Amino acid sequence: MEKKLHRGVPLALIYSILTVASLLLTITVFITTGISQSGFDKIERLTDQYIHCASDVLQLDETSDYLTSRSREFVATGNKVAAARYVTEVKESMSRERALENVRLYFADTIVYTDLTNALNFSNELAEREYYAMRLAADYYGLEDIPGTIKGIELTAEDASKTVDEKRSYAIEMVYGDDYLNLKKKIDDSVSACLEDLINITETRKKSASDSINQTVIFHNIVLGTLLISMVASALSTWFLALRPLRRTKECIDENLPIKVRGSSEIRYVAAAYNHMYEENKRQKDILEYEVSHDILTGISNRHDYVDTCNRLADQEVLFIIADIDRFKSINDTLGHAMGDAVISEVARRLRESFLNHDKVFRIGGDEFVVMVFDCSEKRKAEIKGILIGLNNAFVDVHNRQPSFPLVSLSFGVTHKRKAVTFEAAYRNADKALYAVKERGGCDANFDAQFTASLKKAA
């Protein structure tokens, strides 16, 4: 990566070539070259400072995200390892504080340091919420052997009087609620402002260094005024290696596009650093878009994606299946929500594996799932019931092999949604069929009258 960043012609080489062009002014050329080289070294130092400081800024942001993940993991699962790692990062590793200290070395009296200090302050505010949420979650899971930093947090009288379920709900609200997300946004905004200011200040310092170099070049051209070819070569090299790449860089930034790495090695270095930040921001955006349309617990499509799919495919013909876990409430009540989550995850996984890749499986709420099968052929219809019965048989096998896993069964309601039928109507038809299964005790698949008639006709 480092070699690739330095590829391209450095401006120092151009001036070295011009130096050799005039034997009569060798001493003068050496002096001007030395001055120019000093300027280039300064530019390189500024570039190195920028790269290191940009990395530190991103490190603070990544560490904040890491703390968020660990606190949410502990609140959601009670995983003591997550709590221990959280405390280790905050109390021992202190990556955020080290990142701020590294930036202070080069930008102590600038807005860059102020922006990053604000980001750390907001991150510390988040940490206070996360500590408190983990303390509430520890009560919910009945954990005593947790890090003392968390255990020593004193709950308010109001929070201490809450039931364990209320404590867990409040803990989840503290690390997922609007106030929490607003703080996260403030961190992101501060980091973005810091990176932008870092670029601006670095460019200003580099411009000052470039101005110094340009003064040397002017003196160099005065001394070698008769060397028109050298002057033209200098002008052309400045255009192709600096000015034109910078202009194209500005156009790319204005259009929110990655920069084509062209020009001098210094400009290539800056362009590659910008592209790295561009790709990272794009990756974060893709992650957010994925989380909007997918269920966090199971990884399958969620209700938001279900509604969007229904809107997009309103005229699509599909086989519409509603799946519901039988007696799921009793699993939660007797075995706990952690086991309930494990059951939901296992059901989601087996539903996803039982259908084709282009079919869609959604978790639309609690223990309710919807499957859309896009192959509506009579052959596929005939296969559906076997697939659904096979799912229930598979859960019997799971229970037999692993008795600690509850005996799970599913009830299914199936309908054939025609093009002229709305998804709302299809849902009602499938739900009626599902209700009939529930009335019979569950653990079966029921097909509405239209679907059954179609199968009989095909037979």
User: What is the pLDDT at residue 380?
Assistant: 92
**In the predicted model, is pLDDT for residue 51 greater than 60?**
yes
- H-helix or E-strand containing 319? strand 318-325
User: What is the pLDDT at residue 8?
Assistant: 67
List the alpha helices (DSSP H) in 80-177.
Answer: 80-88, 95-107, 111-141, 148-151, 157-160, 164-176
Return the axis-axis angle of helices 111-141 and 95-107, rounded to nearest 10°: 170
**Distance between CA 364 and CA 423 in Å, rounded?**
14
- The answer to whether 320 and 417 are in contact (CB under 8 A) is yes
- The answer to whether 286 and 306 are in contact (CB under 8 A) is no
Return the axis-axis angle of helices 449-458 and 378-401, rounded to nearest 10°: 110
In this structure, the answer to whether residues 211 and 354 fall within a common structural domain is: no
Is 10 within the bounds of a domain?
no
In this structure, the answer to whether residues 206 and 310 fall within a common structural domain is: no
Q: If pLDDT is split at 50, 70 and 90, which confidence band does 313 have?
A: very high
Site of tokens 């660990």: 70
Structure tokens at 7: 């590829």
pLDDT, the chain, mean: 87
Is 288 within the bounds of a domain?
no
Structure tokens at 295: 């269920």
Is 142 within the bounds of a domain?
yes
Q: What is the DSSP letter of 89?
A: I
In the 3-class helix/strand/coil scheme, how is 363-414 assigned residue by residue?
EEECCEEEEEECCCCHHHHHHHHHHHHHHHHHHHHHHHHCCCCCCCCEEEEE
Structure tokens at 172: 């989840």
Q: Which of 93-97, 146-150, 218-222 shows the lowest mean pLDDT across its residues? A: 218-222
**In the predicted model, is pLDDT for residue 409 greater than 80?**
yes
Structure tokens at 309: 């799919």
pLDDT digits (tens, 9 = 90+) for 104-124: 999 989 999 999 999 999 999
- The answer to whether 416 and 449 are in contact (CB under 8 A) is no
User: What is the pLDDT at residue 1?
Assistant: 44
User: What is the pLDDT at residue 95?
Assistant: 92
Is 6 within the bounds of a domain?
no
Residue scoring higher pLDDT (22 or 360): 360
Tell me the CA distances in angstroms from 432 to 274, 425, 439, 447, 457, one per residue in order. 56, 11, 11, 9, 22
Structure tokens at 181: 């997300």
- Read off the CATH number of the domain in which 332 is found: 3.30.70.270
**Distance between CA 309 and CA 307 in Å, rounded?**
5
**In the predicted model, is pLDDT for residue 41 greater than 90?**
no
Q: If pLDDT is split at 50, 70 and 90, which confidence band does 454 have?
A: low
- The number of distinct structural domains making up the chain is 2
- The answer to whether 112 and 198 are in contact (CB under 8 A) is yes
Arithmetic mean of pLDDT, 293-299: 90
In this structure, the answer to whether residues 220 and 307 fall within a common structural domain is: no
In this structure, the answer to whether residues 221 and 328 fall within a common structural domain is: no
- Domain hosting 310: range is 303-458
User: What is the pLDDT at residue 298?
Assistant: 92
Q: Please give the share of the chain, as a percent, with pLDDT higher than 70.
A: 92
Up-side HSE of residue 45: CA atoms within 13 Å toward CB?
A: 10
Is 395 within the bounds of a domain?
yes
Q: Which of 43-52, 97-106, 232-241, 377-386 shows the lowest mean pLDDT across its residues? A: 232-241
Q: Pick from 177, 209, 226: which residue ends a domain?
A: 226
Residue scoring higher pLDDT (271 or 326): 326
Tell me the CA distances in angstroms from 342 to 73, 114, 412, one per residue in order. 15, 45, 20
Q: Pick from 173, 201, 226: which residue ends a domain?
A: 226
Arithmetic mean of pLDDT, 92-103: 92
Site of tokens 């490190």: 59
User: What is the pLDDT at residue 72?
Assistant: 92
Q: If pLDDT is split at 50, 70 and 90, which confidence band does 275 have?
A: confident
Bridge pairing between strands 368-373 and 360-365:
antiparallel
Is 232 within the bounds of a domain?
no
Q: Pick from 177, 192, 226: which residue ends a domain?
A: 226
User: What is the pLDDT at residue 450?
Assistant: 59
Q: If pLDDT is split at 50, 70 and 90, which confidence band does 7 have?
A: low
**In the predicted model, is pLDDT for residue 355 greater than 80?**
yes
**In the predicted model, is pLDDT for residue 359 greater than 60?**
yes
Is 331 within the bounds of a domain?
yes
In this structure, the answer to whether residues 169 and 27 fall within a common structural domain is: yes
Is 50 within the bounds of a domain?
yes
pLDDT digits (tens, 9 = 90+) for 195-205: 999 999 999 98
Arithmetic mean of pLDDT, 384-404: 93
- The answer to whether 122 and 144 are in contact (CB under 8 A) is no
Q: If pLDDT is split at 50, 70 and 90, which confidence band does 32 have?
A: confident
User: What is the pLDDT at residue 24?
Assistant: 86
Q: If pLDDT is split at 50, 70 and 90, which confidence band does 2 have?
A: very low
Arithmetic mean of pLDDT, 424-428: 95
User: What is the pLDDT at residue 22?
Assistant: 74
Structure tokens at 289: 């878009």
Q: What is the dihedral of CA 132, 134, 138, 144, to 10 degrees?
A: -90
Q: Which of 205-219, 368-382, 403-417 shows the lowest mean pLDDT across its residues? A: 205-219
Kindly provide the b/e burial profile for residues 288-315, where b requires at least 16 CB atoms within 10 angstroms of the residue's own CB: eeeeeebbeebebbbeebbeebbeeeee
Structure tokens at 23: 């034997």
**Distance between CA 36 and CA 15 in Å, rounded?**
8
Arithmetic mean of pLDDT, 54-64: 92
In this structure, the answer to whether residues 182 and 84 fall within a common structural domain is: yes
User: What is the pLDDT at residue 453?
Assistant: 54
Give, rounded to a whole angstrom, the gap between the first and last alpha carbons of the chain.
64
Return the axis-axis angle of helices 178-223 and 111-141, rounded to nearest 10°: 150
Structure tokens at 66: 């890491």
Site of tokens 């650093």: 273
Residue scoring higher pLDDT (257 or 198): 198
- Which residues, listed in sequence order, are joined to residue 325 by a DSSP beta bridge? 410
The 3-state DSSP class for residue 25 equals: coil
pLDDT digits (tens, 9 = 90+) for 125-170: 999 999 999 999 999 998 888 898 898 899 999 999 999 999 999 9
